[in-house]
Amino acid sequence: MVFVRGGWSTGSAPIYNTTYTGGMMRKIRKNSDLFGFAVNWGDTAAGLGSQTTGELFYRLQFAQNFAITPSLQLLIDPALNDEHSSIWVVGIRSRLNL
């Protein structure tokens, strides 16, 4: 599955003025788990410049209504951090559908 997404904001307090995301996902293990990657570019608000983010993730579907997704992200030119040119972020998300 391929996906693309774009967004634009002219509000009074946006995080990004412009953002574009693209990536791919592949179903794994009996069509329940997902492996995927995505790349995002965003032009940040308040003149902070642009930021690029890459993410690898694996969604573990434990039950029809419950999934856990560990992820690894690389932020290049992080907008709110002048000290580093790149930052690695390890994350975990969960989803429960009631």
Per-residue pLDDT for 14 more than 80? no
With pLDDT > 70 as the criterion, what percentage of the chain qualifies? 98
pTM over 0.85: no
pLDDT of residue 30: 76
Q: Where does the pLDDT of residue 24 fall: very low under 50, low under 70, confident under 90, or very high at 90 and above?
A: very high
What average pLDDT does the structure give for the chain?
Answer: 90
Measure the CA–CA gap between 23 and 36, rounded to whole angstroms: 7
Would you list the domain boundaries of the chain?
A: 2-10+23-96
CA distance 17 to 45: 6
- pLDDT number for residue 59: 94
Output the pLDDT for position 86: 95
DSSP-derived secondary structure for 43-98: EESTT--EEEEEEEEEEEEEETTEEEEEEEEEEES-TT-SS-SEEEEEEEEEEE--
